[in-house]
Chain A
Amino acid sequence: MHDIYNFVSGTLVWVSFILFTGGCVYRFVSMAALAKKKDPVIYEYMSLRYALRSIFHWIIPFGSENMKMHPVFTIVTFAFHICLIFVPLFLFAHIILIKESWNISWWFLSDSIADVMTLIVVGSCIYFLVRRITQPEVKFLTSISDYLILAVVAAPFITGFWTYHQFPGHKFVGIIHILSGEIMLVAIPFTRLSHMIFFAFTRGYMGSEFGAIRHAKDW
């Protein structure tokens, strides 16, 4: 048990952090280099002002026409993304682990709030799943990988909730929790989850084209 725990909470943490940050940097740098070589227009037409203007409209809830057309989806996706990012970064237990290892710490959420936020993430994943299965326009675009990605994202939250509440098998699930968190982290740069890295750039580029060249809004 100790060996497994030490491995997943020691070596693998390092491996996943390195793959995550290295992967993000690599994806970003290689894309920037590719753009320089093949799509220099991006550099020419990217405008900070209009990029920010567009991003702004798309990161505030109901900031775009499309969000207003899908209120339930909008609420779910915002709740999902906020909880998804806040819970792992500000969970008390995570903060303590980081404090123990590197002697740094920051603000944290109370466990009861984190508990609710975890349920929001899991619930949102279920919503996304149901949507994928029942809505024809989403189903048509769906491949196995979409289900896998949803599973990869939901897993750390489900297992975290499980160990926290000490449901049966919680020790084993605890190990799976750490492992699945690491998998999710590594998956970010190398799957569709890389939208985290590129969102600002694709949105910003479209915002720049619409704003600076076409004098129109894109939200």
Chain B
Amino acid sequence: MKKKSWILYSIAVTAVAVVVVTAYSQENVKYVQDSAFKTKMRPGAVFLHDEHNEKAEIDDCGTCHHLYKDGVKIEDETSEDMECSECHKINGNPVPLVAKYHLRCKGCHEEKKAGPVMCSECHVK
């Protein structure tokens, strides 16, 4: 009897912990997400924002959250408050936007020879 309730107790605590942790970590991005993607072909790419940038030594937010005007990148201005799809419009065809995301992530990984490059490395099930 004693043993059984101990197990139940552990399960309950773990469950609570998981919920709490998940809720808090919304702060630190875990997946690449964009509301423009209505149906998802694959799970969102795993992306731990802060850890990634620390490890990759990226300080300038504009590296990824860039802002263009008339085809020219505006230095010193960034776009963290926007979704990529606000500029890279999807117009019914997700391919160009997906390719943009890929080029941003994978393109850099390939260039730096660091980080994941194959489908299953990012889109983890």
Contacts and interface: CB of A to CB of B under 8 A. Distances in A.
Direct contact of A and B (CB under 8 A): yes
Interface of A: 1-3, 5-6, 92-93, 95-96, 99-100, 103, 105, 108, 110-111, 163-166, 170-171, 174-175
Nearest 8 CB-CB pairings of A with B: A99-B99, A2-B113, A105-B95, A111-B41, A170-B120, A174-B118, A100-B99, A166-B120
A96 B117 contact: no
A170 B120 CA distance: 7
Contacts of B117: 1-2, 5
B119 to A, nearest CB: 6
Contacts of A163: 118-120
User: Which of B99, B117, B118 has the largest number of chain A CB atoms within 10 A?
Assistant: B118
Contacts of A175: 118
Given A96-B102, A99-B95, A171 B110 contact: no
Contacts of B102: 96, 100
Contacts, number: 53
A103 B109 CA distance: 19
Interface in B6-60: 39, 41-42
Contact of A164 (B99, B103, B120, B124): B120
Nearest to A162: B120
B4 interface: no
A169 B107 CA distance: 24
B69 interface: no
Contacts of B109: 2
Interface string B87-125: 000000101101100110011011001100111110011
A175 B42 CA distance: 19
Contacts of A105: 93, 95-96, 99
Given A99-B95, A100-B102, A100-B103, A174 B119 contact: yes
Contacts of B96: 99, 105
A166 B42 CA distance: 12
B110 A6 contact: yes
Contact of A5 (B42, B95, B118, B125): B118
B95 A165 contact: no
B120 A171 contact: yes
Contacts of A164: 119-120
Nearest to B40: A111
Given A100-B102, A111-B41, A171 B95 contact: no
Contacts of A166: 120, 124-125
Pick the most buried of A3, A92, A100: most chain B CB atoms within 10 A of its CB. A100
B125 A96 contact: no
Contacts of A92: 41
A96 B121 contact: no
A164 B120 CA distance: 7
Given A105-B95, A164-B119, A171-B121, 19 more contacts: A92-B41, A93-B119, A96-B95, A96-B102, A99-B95, A100-B99, A100-B106, A100-B107, A105-B93, A105-B96, A108-B95, A110-B41, A111-B42, A163-B120, A164-B120, A165-B125, A166-B120, A166-B125, A170-B120
A174 B42 CA distance: 16
Given A2-B113, A163-B120, A171-B118, A95 B95 contact: yes
